[in-house]
Amino acid sequence: MKKIIFIFLSLNLSLIANIYDLKPVTITKDIHCVIGDIHAPNKNNKGFVSNMCYIDIGNSIVVLDAGPTYKFAKEFYTLIKSHYKNKPISHVILTNFHDDRIQGASFFQEIRAKIVGYKNINQDIQDNSAKFQRMQNILSPKEYEGTKVILADTLVEDGYTIKGSQKNLTIIKPSTVSEEKSDIAVYSKDDSFIFAGNIVFNGRLLNYRKASSVDGWIEALENLAKLNAKHFLGGHGKEYDKNSYKPTLEYLKIMKEDVSKAFENEIESADVKQYVQTQKFNYLNHFDQLNYSNIQNYYYQLEWGE
């Protein structure tokens, strides 16, 4: 009887100890993903705002993005091991440098997984050190405990292949710059699956930053679309059908055309928003805030020739 009580208490304590409620979505029999909250990092979602996946390649598991904290990565690992008890995690691919994607990497490094990123990701991390205070400011010391920023130990270029005993994964750099310089996608031909990271947004509007390139972002989406994948999962949002990239592409094309026309017609930056016909996307979360900043950032690039 005492043994039963002890087991019951242990199980309950392990449940209480979990910070994140990770529920996998099965994309194919070998690909499972967790879908992040659609809002910005806050005390309720504890920084879990991005999609992350794990893929069985036969002799090992490959993880796509490491998550926002050390404890997230540890819970993600526990979830993965509940499905694949006897398979090691060989690689963790970081699809860009953002804190919600990379700050769990130190946990995976501890279990000797290779931390993979595009060849310029470490430079992006070093150039944007101020961006890695966000989670620490949001989370309690206990929730943030163990979290640190590390550099990728395996830097790759377009076309790099992770070879498994049953399937291969290919890292694709679909353009020089999209949202960020370090953005990449991961392609499993056998599964007809693309994980596009922050190149594709669903459920919330994309964030066009001062470092983004509208031409590069459009190029990236058009290049990925040529693969005709059946499953196309972005970094945010629950959609993963073959057309899930299209709203992002359409928004960028409209923004580019309308802001460019307004700039050529010498419309002042304060007034340009009313000349940009992106209102059809107002069903997306955070549209008002992000649409305005997106337009302003692209106008600024045109104004300063960037």
Considering the segment(s) 22-198+212-243 as one domain, its CATH architecture is 4-Layer Sandwich (3.60)
Q: pTM here?
A: 0.93
Q: Would you kindly state where each structural domain of the chain is located, as residue ranges? A: 22-198+212-243
- Tell me what pLDDT residue 295 has: 98
Per-residue model confidence as pLDDT tens digits over 65-105: 999 999 999 999 999 999 999 999 999 999 999 999 999 99
Q: Which two tokens stand for residue 173?
A: 């750099």
pLDDT values of the chain reduced to their tens digit, one per residue, 306 residues: 434 433 333 344 344 478 998 999 999 999 999 999 999 999 999 999 999 999 999 999 999 999 999 999 999 999 999 999 999 999 999 999 999 999 999 999 999 999 999 999 999 999 999 999 999 999 999 999 999 999 999 999 999 999 999 999 999 999 999 999 999 999 999 999 999 999 999 999 999 999 999 999 999 999 999 999 999 999 999 999 999 999 999 999 999 999 999 999 999 999 999 999 999 999 999 999 999 999 999 999 999 987
Residue partners of 172: CB distance under 8 A and separation at least 6: 158, 159, 184, 185, 186, 187, 194, 223, 224
Q: Hunting for tokens 């106008």 — which residue is that?
A: 299
CB 195 within 8 A of CB 53: yes
Instruction: Kindly state the percentage of the chain with pLDDT values over 70.
Output: 94
CA dist., res. 98 & res. 94, Å (int): 9
CA dist., res. 66 & res. 51, Å (int): 10
CB 111 within 8 A of CB 77: yes
Q: Hunting for tokens 């490959």 — which residue is that?
A: 62
- Tell me what pLDDT residue 122 has: 98
Q: Which two tokens stand for residue 152?
A: 């990728």
- Tell me what pLDDT residue 14 has: 43
228: buried, middle or exposed (CB in 10 Å: 19+, 13-18, 0-12)?
Answer: exposed
**How does 205-225 read in b/e, with b if 16+ C-beta sit within 10 Å?**
bbbbeeebbbebbbbbbeebb
Q: Which two tokens stand for residue 285?
A: 């979360």
